[in-house]
Amino acid sequence: MCGRYALALRPSEVRQQLEQSQMPVEEAPNDDDVRQSYNFAPGYHGLVYRAEGSGHNEQKEHEHDNEGNLEKESTTSTKYKLQSMQWGLVPFWTKRNPDYGSKMKTINCRDDSLFEDRGMWTTMKKQKRCIIVAQGFYEWLKKNNGKEKIPHFTKRKDGQLMCFAGLWDRVQFEDSNEPLYTYTIITTDSNKQLHFLHDRMPVILDNGSEAIRTWLDPTRTEWSQNLQSLLKPYEGELECYPVSKDVGKVGNNSPSFLIPIDSAENKNNIANFFGYQRKLAKKAGTQDIDKTERDVEKSTSDNEHVKVEHDANETRDTTDSVEGTEDNAPLPVLDKSPTMVEKVQQGVKREADDSPSPEDEPQAKRNRTASPQKHLSPVKMPSRKQGTRSATSNGSAAKTPVKSDGNARITSFFSSK
């Protein structure tokens, strides 16, 4: 679960707040190079925090020990940067830009899909770990048997930025001269506080913690129990409350989306809300909320209601008729045509978890595309004709389970347009 979040801060503001939390930033994008939105959707370019030297291309010139790990350097030599990447991971071996529906199914990665040393995440989890920066995330509470969805916003109670554990990759398509950097957000079981809302939540690591340093350590090039143990429900204090249903439409953007629905109805309640938030921030010695409060003031209309703006050149069309996604967020579609809606639905439903990456296969078999490489899975998976449960989805099990060896090819996972 994490299909929509908020990040309306400029890279320079994020950099300042991270450095206040003992998270150094050697390099950051220009303020105009990254999307700033209170309604951040898949496909947007967000801010990713990672260590320099992580990733296969950057590591290949380093010396390795006998176990395949990079020889340890002093902690002080590790440099970190903020980088603009697109939400929705595209593996490095993909030859053509996948359709939007295909990208939708890699916005999340389940923590339990990382246990085994196989599958599409194998390379990324070993060498391309990152942190996705956010102010908080949205989830939709289903009511009346799913007929009604009420958006809720969740953030840290101390006002600090949220640091989601994630994976990233770099791909260059055959018809492009520019590389594309993309990312996915790792999810785990919900903690007790959020279980009423959804059974999954993003993995949140404490800012400036040893857990973040371990997760980003570029010298750790093999997956281990130590890394897996970091992927667990958040134990800190969170705030979660219902917000405006306007956040459901992609392209809608308003600071009021961060304000409880009961407080957003008039200006006096908004002022009280920010007053309380300032007290919490001051007590915790962390960031204040001046940026959001200023945005609210700018967008307040004459009748004292906060206006909802619409991002230019972006459709608000969404679909709720997609099963098998990690979250309950309405999925964006590029247009209202049945064909496009069907593409989004089909892309999300396609099974992906057990597709072997090129590095999992012998070189002689890598060039063969006619016969799938067979993998035995300890978990019984439903056939493709039934509803599927994948590394990126939390859909219900099929009504009639059928044994499957999990041998879907990555060529079918990321089909070309």
- Cα(195)–Cα(201) distance, integer angstroms: 9
- Cα(304)–Cα(264) distance, integer angstroms: 10
- Cα(228)–Cα(202) distance, integer angstroms: 14
Amino acid at the residue 299 = S
- pTM, 2 dp: 0.72
- Cα(129)–Cα(181) distance, integer angstroms: 13
What residues in the chain have per-residue pLDDT under 50?
58-68, 71-75, 302-303, 321-325, 340-341, 344-356, 359-389, 393, 395-411, 416-417
Provide the phi-psi class of 302: left if phi over 0, else alpha when psi is between -120 and 50, else beta: alpha
Q: Quick one: tokens of 270?
A: 């908004």
Strand, coil or helix: 135: coil
What per-residue string of b and e applies to 182-216 under the rule 16 or more CB within 10 Å gives b?
A: bbbbbbbebeebbeebbebbbbbbebbeebbbbbb
CATH number of 5-254+308-332: 3.90.1680.10
Q: Quick one: tokens of 136?
A: 């908080």
Give the total residue count for the chain.
417
- Cα(218)–Cα(241) distance, integer angstroms: 37
pLDDT at position 211, please?
Answer: 98
